[in-house]
Structure 1
Amino acid sequence: MTAHDETPDGLRRGDWGAWVEERPGRPAADRRRRRAGRSRRDGGDPQPRPDLGADGPVPGSAAADGPPGDPAAVARAVCLRLLTMAPRTRAQLAEALRRRGIPDAAADSVLSRFSDVGLIDDEAFAAAWVSSRHAGRGLARRALAAELRNRGVEEEVVREAVDRLDPDEEIETARRLVERRLPGTRGLATPARVRRLAGMLARKGYSSGLAYRVVREALEAEDHPAEDLPDTFD
């Protein structure tokens, strides 16, 4: 062994040939595993995963049914991935395919096929949306209809979905919303309480007339004289 090859005490060869301090308690096998891990991260993985993009197909997905770059296969993979995450309307899926650069003909074909087999169902989506958002957020018809339109649901389907909401249930939901918010307004003057509570209902899609009536009922139940309440909340 030449003087050049001798290992100085307490040192070892580093990854790039330089001498580095030997750390006790770290066996050579651990060092090899660490170097192997760095090598994989630096691109040394013998089987790197392909970069398929956010909406790209994955091995074993529907994209494997067609040749590489087949627009219909990519469209199927994109739609399946999005539908697995959450229900989507046809318009939402069409927009996702458009952003991916899928030709209109391929996109329409895939979307129609998904509709035929029930994977896309805007009527069911709208009905579930109304039920969930009314129960969970207390939204009224006007707000629910706006949300469905924003998701590309056709107007006739929107009307049918929101018309299923029972008007009496809508009123009871408004009352519960006011009851929950009422204690937090007790330090305010009566006109300010009316504006705050009725404004909260208006933002959730309730008509101004219904909002004022429900708020007035709640304040009268607190022994507010009716003559002290404003005629409107504007």
Structure 2
Amino acid sequence: MPQITDLKIQKHNPNRLNIYLDGEFAFGVERLVGAWLSIGDEIDPAKIEALLRKDELEKAYLRALRLLNIRPRTAFEISSRLAKAGYGEKIIEPVMARLQEAGLINDQVFAHTWVENRCTFRPRSKRVLVLELHQKGVADSEIQSAVCDLDETSLALQTAQKYVSRCKDMPFDEFRKKMFGYLSRRGFNFETVTEAINHTWQIMQVEAETLT
């Protein structure tokens, strides 16, 4: 039975451990995975196979954590990225379960946070918000829960306010043209866009009169 003759921390990745069997390098694993190993231990092929599988699981989990450290992601986004990296379902499924049990992935929370951030910083129509969440793999029920309280007219007015400073000195025809294009590109329909433009223009006129 092969015997562990040396354990060395990798030079370029101190989180991984090189394992030597019978005097020769055999394989590397995450230090967390190999923490129980000791020089002199005998290790049979079945244990080696189990160790390598555990290492694959840990590497996939750490890859998922790095993705989540960049920004929150849905379960679909994480599983897709792991699949793209070459991991199969036997690795992806337990990794996803571990992430969900730890509360690191929650599509319902993601959907509500996404909608809240969009409405605060980059408002757009409910239709576009639904489409964006669909593209991220969020379930219909969770999407509807996140957008059910949104008011399309209010969203259009918020969106117009984000843009109004760029065209506030224009005559009405030019203002309307610019604002119409801006709101339409963000998914609002003709009636909602028209109402938002007229309302925003009226607010601007009141503010201008107040300043004079």
Aligned partners of 2:127 and 2:187 also within 8 Å: yes
Answer whether contact 2:156 2:193 (CA < 8 A) is retained: no
Aligned to 2:115: 130
Structure 2 portions without partners, runs of 5+: 1-9, 18-28, 35-50, 206-212
- The amino acid of 1:125's aligned partner reads F
Give the aligned partner of residue 197 of structure 1.
179
Q: Counterparts in 2 of 1:155-194, with a 5 A limit?
A: 155-167=140-152, 169-177=154-162, 179-183=164-168, 186=170, 190=173, 192-194=174-176
Corresponding residue for residue 12 of structure 2: 49
Q: Using structure 2 for the length normalisation, give the TM-score.
A: 0.67
Structure 1 or 2, whichever has the larger Rg, is 1
The match for 2:33 is 65
Please say if 1:216 is aligned against 2:198. yes
More strand by share: 2
Structure 1's 126 and 63: CA in aligned 2 closer, same or farther, altered over 3 A? farther
The sequence identity of aligned pairs, in percent, is 24
Take 1:165 and 1:221, find their aligned partners in 2: how far apart are those partners?
A: 22
Distance 2:30 2:155 in 1: 43
Indicate if the aligned counterparts of 1:62 and 1:77 stay in contact, CA closer than 8 A.
no
SS of residue in 1 equivalent to 2:137: coil
Q: Distance in 2 between matches of 1:68 and 1:165?
A: 49
TM-score by length of 1: 0.61
Shift of 1:218: 3.6
Residue 148, structure 1, aligned to residue 133, structure 2? yes
The amino acid across from 2:176 in the alignment is V
Deviation for aligned residue 1:200: 0.6
Residue 69 of structure 2 is matched in structure 1 by 84
Task: Work out the CA distance in 2 between the residues paired with 1:120 and 1:93.
Answer: 9
Give the distance between the partners of 2:183 and 2:73, measured in 1 at CA. Answer: 28
Indicate how the Cα distance of structure 1 residues 63 and 199 shifts in structure 2: closer, same or farther if over 3 A, else same. Answer: farther
- Name 2:102's counterpart in structure 1: 117
SS in structure 2 of the partner of residue 205 of structure 1: coil
| C-alpha contact (below 8 Å) 1:127/1:161 kept by paired residues | yes
Q: How many Å separate the matches in 2 of 1:128 and 1:142? A: 17
**Cα distance, 1:119–1:63 mapped onto 2, change above 3 Å:** farther
**Cα 1:204/1:118, change in 2 over 3 Å:** same
Q: Please tell me the residue identity of whatever aligns with 2:187.
A: G
- Equivalents in 2 of 1:86, 1:63: separation in Å? 26
Q: Which residue of 1 aligns with 2:78?
A: 93
Q: What is the deviation of 1:157?
A: 1.2
Ranges in structure 1 where 5+ consecutive residues have no aligned partner: 1-46, 51-56, 224-234
SS at match of 2:72: coil
Residue pair 2:125, 2:156 contacting (<8 A) in 1 also: no
User: For residues 169-189 of structure 1, what are the alpha-carbon distances to aligned partners after superposition, in whole Å with 9 as ceiling and x for unaligned?
Assistant: 4254144235334325x16x7
For residue 144 of structure 2, give the secondary structure of its aligned residue in structure 1: helix
Superimposed CA distance per residue, residues 18-72 of structure 1 (whole angstroms, 9 cap, x where no aligned partner)? xxxxxxxxxxxxxxxxxxxxxxxxxxxxx7415xxxxxx9549977336346332
Counterpart code for 1:89: T
Q: CA deviation at 1:123?
A: 0.6
